[in-house]
Chain A
Amino acid sequence: MTKRAIVAAVVMLAAPSSLAAREPFERPTYAGAYEPLGVDERGLWMQMDDYERAFRDSPLVVRDEALTKYVKSVLCKTVGPDRCEATRVYIVQDKLFNASMAPNGMMQVHTGLLARVHSEAELATVLGHEFAHFELRHSLNGFKEQRKGSDLMAWIGLAGAAAAPNTGLGFAQTPIAFGFFGFKRAQESEADALSASYIKASAYPLRASAVWTRLMEEEDALKEERKLRKIRRRNPGAIDTHPTDLQRVAYFAEQEAEAGAAEGDDGREAYGAETARVLPTLFDSLVKGNEFAAADYVIQSRANALGWDGLLLHARGELYRLRGNPRDLVTARQFYEQAIATGSAPAEAWRGAGLTAMRGGDSSAGKAALREYLVRLPQASDAAAMKMLLEN
């Protein structure tokens, strides 16, 4: 499919936003707190309300009020302050590039997403996308579609078995199943289109294609490491739930090229400053995950965009130290020392520098660093273990 055809298809799927290309996008009037209507919608809300009641106290939620407020403020600038007020934002400790929004207005933003975007405008494209699912009530429609499809499949399965065992009527189920995935993909494209419209109506420039390009590069880096074939698909597979990354890059790039779409302050500096404080939290699950090349790509791409600082260098040191090959410890020590030299390193950088130095046969420098770690963080949970190392 050509780029133009992809865009045309998307525009067809998202009828309301197709106007946006010509006329300025106007958000529908916000009518205040929304109450779910009908058995299905009220049922879904009930389910999510119950889920949220437990989830809000989950240990997975990052309890950092300043960060949560900041992310919510980006959402509000994207979709408008009136409609964003009802949402509850939760930052979730998870390495994946992901966010989600439930029908009842609960938004989850993964640390893996915050680690991978480099500006408010980039974050806005994902938050806007999730909010679009919410505003277009995609969960409800998806549920209805799934029910319709599975009901139909049940009847066809029964009819096939009962009436026409030799005709292969059972195959009629396949298009229904595939149709459902097509429906899901259409919802995703629709949410992308509405997200782009939100952003065009906001003060942010549209910066979506860069996010998806980097995701493809990250995947390539991981495949390179694992010696797997790199595949960039122009068309989604039959059971894909989302458009391919390449499709998304194509239709977003097309929209970004439109006059005025890419103008405005992308909030890169503000984003760098606000997230610098919490970098260890944002990179924690990534660094501890089992995808070395991907994590290293994410760290380096943040450095390319926002520069190295003590916390980011420390995160890279941890990545290498935790993989733990003898050669990794040498590299890790360099990163820890660079982190310390910046003057903005966390206390743990001295621990890393100390441990890697001792492993590398430089025990005097190692012990000095460990002592410094204990001076800087006397309450560290591993203080006792470090003291034991110092005594030997």
Chain B
Amino acid sequence: MMNKWLAAAILAVSFLVMAPMAHGQEKGAVREGFSAETLSGKKILLFRPSVWVGEQSTGGLAEPNADWTAQAREFLNAELARRQIEFSNELIIEPDLVGEDAKLFSEHRALFNSVASSVVNYQFFAGNRLPTRKNKAFDWTLGEGTKAIAERTGAQYGLFVRTEDQYGSFGRKMFQVLAIGLVGAGVSSGKHVGYAGLVDLHTGNLVWLNADEQMGGDVRTEEGMQKRVGQLLEDFPGFKPVATAAK
């Protein structure tokens, strides 16, 4: 009887905890035939990064925080600009567009998000991994529609960055402690996921993706964001050899 209730409670709690299971870690991949040499001297277009920062309520609900998000976005932009010297490429910022061009960018941002999520869900991490993707080559594409973006901007590569941070609220942390102490149920507090990806705009191919479901660095502080960006761009093929060696 005890066990039945325990199971029910854990089930109930697991509904509340929407954070990924413990097997989420860091994963990255580079497309076959792509290397730092391929990238050298080419312009990279930085798409507007997706940033979300907030708290996680006791019950596991995501609570957005406008100040933290705005702050993190500022730190992220500053950090990417600061690291420009480490890139062997020129980084250009996504232009503010209207009309058909804006539609083109909007579609491809959405497409990248879908493809990147598929990579994360179905190839990178155990659990949902598809048999057709398990231990197979990193072979994903957005299709040749990206060519139009290359023509508009003169960039050959597109860089996408996304971070999402839910910091455990006081209530959540208390709940976590009590859940493990009283009934031995593991409850996660906080959620820190992010990815960065590079797309060859001429072919639409995803050439590099780095995803991390348990990222470090407190994005609400400048130093934390430096650490975060360092993790996001870890093994990015476009760093100058010197910068990579210095790490």
Residues of B within 8 A of A152 (CB): 59
Q: Identify which of B10, B63, B107 contacts A147 (C-beta below 8 A).
A: B63
**Beta-carbon contact of A47 and B52 below 8 Å:** yes
State A58–B109 Cα separation when bound (angstroms).
10
A170 interface residue per 8 A CB criterion: yes
Residues of A within 8 A of B12 (CB): 153, 157, 170, 173
A108 interface residue per 8 A CB criterion: no
**Beta-carbon contact of B63 and A54 below 8 Å:** no
* B contact face: mostly helix, strand, loop, or mixed: helix
B175 interface residue per 8 A CB criterion: yes
State A36–B183 Cα separation when bound (angstroms).
41
For B13, B64, B183, the residue with the greatest tally of chain A CB atoms inside 10 Å of its CB is B64
**Beta-carbon contact of A46 and B16 below 8 Å:** no
Residues of B within 8 A of A44 (CB): 64
Residues of A within 8 A of B65 (CB): 39, 42-43, 46
State A57–B97 Cα separation when bound (angstroms).
9
1/0 contact string of A46-64 vs chain B (CB within 8 Å): 1100100010111100000
**Beta-carbon contact of A151 and B58 below 8 Å:** yes
A217 interface residue per 8 A CB criterion: no
State A157–B103 Cα separation when bound (angstroms).
46
Binds A, one of B66-74, B82-90, B126-134, B202-210: B66-74
**Beta-carbon contact of A154 and B13 below 8 Å:** yes
B46 interface residue per 8 A CB criterion: no
B190 interface residue per 8 A CB criterion: no
B246 interface residue per 8 A CB criterion: no
A162 interface residue per 8 A CB criterion: yes
1/0 contact string of A13-47 vs chain B (CB within 8 Å): 00000000000000000000000100110111111
1/0 contact string of A152-182 vs chain B (CB within 8 Å): 1111011011100110001001000000000
**Beta-carbon contact of B57 and A40 below 8 Å:** no
**Beta-carbon contact of B107 and A59 below 8 Å:** yes
Question: Which B-chain residue is minimally distant from A38 (CB atoms)?
Answer: B66
**Beta-carbon contact of B109 and A54 below 8 Å:** yes
Quick one: given A160-B5, A173-B12, are A150 and B57 in contact (CB under 8 Å)? yes
Q: Identify which of B13, B67, B69, B70 contacts A158 (C-beta below 8 A).
A: B13
The range of chain A's interface size is 20 to 34
State A162–B184 Cα separation when bound (angstroms).
9
State A137–B128 Cα separation when bound (angstroms).
39
Residues of B within 8 A of A166 (CB): 1-2, 5
A162 smallest CB distance to B (angstroms): 4
State A45–B70 Cα separation when bound (angstroms).
12
State A152–B12 Cα separation when bound (angstroms).
12
**Beta-carbon contact of B57 and A43 below 8 Å:** no
State A149–B110 Cα separation when bound (angstroms).
33
**Beta-carbon contact of A161 and B185 below 8 Å:** yes
Residues of A within 8 A of B10 (CB): 161
State A165–B5 Cα separation when bound (angstroms).
6
**Beta-carbon contact of B175 and A158 below 8 Å:** yes
B80 interface residue per 8 A CB criterion: no
Q: Identify which of A40, A42, A161 contacts B9 (C-beta below 8 A).
A: A161
Find residues 67-88 in chain A having any chain B CB closer than 8 Å to their own CB: none
B54 interface residue per 8 A CB criterion: yes
**Beta-carbon contact of B183 and A155 below 8 Å:** no
Q: Identify which of A50, A58, A147, A155 contacts B106 (C-beta below 8 A).
A: A58
State A50–B13 Cα separation when bound (angstroms).
30
Residues of A within 8 A of B93 (CB): none
State A313–B1 Cα separation when bound (angstroms).
66
Quick one: given A43-B54, A165-B6, are A146 and B182 in contact (CB under 8 Å)? no
Known contacts A57-B97, A151-B58, A170-B5; 16 further A-B pairs (Cβ under 8 A): A39-B65, A40-B63, A42-B65, A57-B106, A58-B106, A59-B107, A153-B59, A154-B58, A154-B175, A155-B175, A157-B9, A158-B13, A161-B183, A162-B182, A165-B1, A165-B2
Chain B residues with a Cβ under 8 A of chain A: 1-2, 5-6, 8-10, 12-13, 16, 50, 52, 54, 57-61, 63-67, 69-70, 97, 102-103, 105-107, 109-110, 171, 175, 178-179, 182-183, 185
Could you name 24 residue pairs across A and B whose Cβ atoms are closer than 8 Å? A39-B66, A39-B67, A43-B63, A46-B65, A47-B52, A54-B110, A58-B103, A147-B57, A150-B58, A150-B60, A153-B12, A154-B58, A154-B175, A155-B58, A157-B12, A158-B175, A158-B178, A158-B183, A158-B185, A160-B5, A161-B5, A161-B6, A165-B5, A166-B5
